[in-house]
Amino acid sequence: MSDRDEFGAFLVGFIVGGLTGAVVSLLFAPQSGEETRALIKDKSIELRDKASVSAEQALAKAEAAAAEARARADDLARQLRERGMTAYEDVKARGKSALDAVRKTKKDESEAAA
């Protein structure tokens, strides 16, 4: 488990270091402040658009997965209903056979007693 912790710490340090480097490079770039602000604005708009597209794609995938799960659930419910009806019909037929056998036995006993 400590290997995971060490890797997680390394990953966090790597990301923080990368972001720090990006900020420092922007601050010390040979551009004017106005150009740097415009560049930051353009990049932020670009990132926002990419995030929006990614969110839309994730939503589409989630909706597709939900539709597939709904279809599978409906199919399983149909199969369960069919199996239940088959079991019901089987139990009903066995019960009827048993009842007929008991009635026949009672009838034979009453005829033998008479």
Report the sign of the C-alpha dihedral through residues 103, 106, 108, 110, in that order: negative
Kindly give, in sequence order, each residue whose CB lies less than 8 Å from that of residue 26, ignoring residues fewer than 6 positions away.
Answer: 36, 39, 40
pLDDT digits (tens, 9 = 90+) for 33-54: 788 788 888 888 998 999 999 9
Q: What is the pLDDT of residue 114?
A: 65
Decide if 29 contacts 36 (C-beta within 8 A).
yes
Share of the chain above pLDDT 70, in %: 93
Residue 32: phi and psi, rounded to 5, are: -75, 165
Question: What's the whole-model pTM score?
Answer: 0.47
